[in-house]
Amino acid sequence: MSQSDQLEVIAIRDRVASRLPGPLLVDASDGQSYYLKGALTTEPGKPLSLAARRREWAAATLAEEFGLPVAPFAILHLSDILAEHADIAIGASLVPGFYFASQRIPFARSIFESDLTNVSPELQFRILCFDWWVANGSRDLDPIGGEPDLLWNPSLETLSVIDYADAFDSAFDGATFRHRHPFRHIVPVFPQKKRKAKRLRTTFEAAIYRLKEDWGQLPDGFISDLKKKPKTRKKTVTGGHVIQSREDMESFLMKPKWDPYGMLHAL
């Protein structure tokens, strides 16, 4: 990616407090507003790791390749000068660098359970399968609330998928997923679900193969830690390696340690 192609944060509007530590609402050099993820954390001066930022980018890229209506996203660069003066605008210190950002969708709001019937069964099933395959267990919704990470535009009746920060979860809990996912109820009534899931799995694996090309477009600052002398990798709570590189992600997705069709099982 050339320097002229790199999108820059040009203004920081506000902190978004819906989920601590939360993203930042910023304006970018393409004229769009974005939610910048990871620069503001609970530990001052310690942003979200590059590995975590890459995982969200990779999951969003795969979702887009898979055909989900993902909110437009980009890698934004936060300059030293803007980061240094951020405390004036938001009362918090930020670290300059490259961050994943999801574009703000005008007039969209978080989806309610009453809106779910307006989403086509095919799209519900596709989102359910994809979330299972990338081990994204944070999307949940029931009559009293939750964190669906789905935006609904009531006027246009359109859905936007957001927030894959918790994808590639080594501690993925399939039972909780099947209890809490917003589209869990589609499984018993979806026709020929096993055959259609197998077809979608083929599409998903094709998206994984295309990830290499997308990865090649990332700015150097987004993968700089991978070029350093390798150190002993940290262990996750389940004993697996921290997922950092594209190769890590491909291995995790192509050879899952959970049943790739387990989302179809009854509890």
Closest to 42 in 3D by CA, of 5, 68, 17, 77: 17
84 lies in the same domain as 169 = no
- Integer CA distances (angstroms), 17 to 20, 23, 40, 147, in order: 6, 8, 11, 14
164 lies in the same domain as 61 = no
Q: Tell me what the mean pLDDT of segment 20-37 comes to.
A: 90
Residues 6+ apart with CB under 8 A from 242: 51, 233, 234, 235, 236, 248
- Measured over the CA atoms of residue 12, residue 14, residue 15 and residue 16, the dihedral's sign is negative
Residue 94 in domain: yes
**Per-residue pLDDT tens over the stretch 164-219:** 999 999 999 999 999 999 999 999 999 999 999 999 999 999 999 999 999 999 99
Q: Percentage of the chain with pLDDT > 70? A: 89
Pairing of strands 7-15, 24-28: antiparallel
- Domain boundary residue among 58, 79, 103? 103
Q: Residue 142's pLDDT is what?
A: 86
Rounded Cα distance, 97 and 40, in Å = 12
Residue 142 in domain: yes
Residues 6+ apart with CB under 8 A from 146: 140, 180, 182
98 lies in the same domain as 204 = no
152 lies in the same domain as 199 = yes
Total domains present in the chain: 2
- Integer CA distances (angstroms), 223 to 55, 228, 235, 246, in order: 11, 10, 20, 10
Residue 239 in domain: yes
Q: How many CA atoms lie within 13 A of 31 on its CB side?
A: 0
53 lies in the same domain as 181 = no
Residue 54 in domain: yes
- Domain boundary residue among 103, 132, 152? 103
82 lies in the same domain as 190 = no
Which strand (E) or helix (H) includes residue 63?
helix 50-66
78 lies in the same domain as 114 = no
Q: Which two tokens stand for residue 115?
A: 């809106």
Q: Tell me what the mean pLDDT of segment 4-15 comes to.
A: 88
- What is the domain extent for residue 66? 3-103
- Integer CA distances (angstroms), 81 to 10, 94, 145, in order: 10, 11, 40
Residue 205 in domain: yes
Residues 6+ apart with CB under 8 A from 230: none
161 lies in the same domain as 252 = yes
162 lies in the same domain as 132 = yes
207 lies in the same domain as 247 = yes
**Per-residue pLDDT tens over the stretch 76-128:** 999 999 988 876 667 677 889 999 999 999 999 999 999 999 999 999 999 99
- Domain boundary residue among 86, 103, 120? 103
Q: Residue 24's pLDDT is what?
A: 92
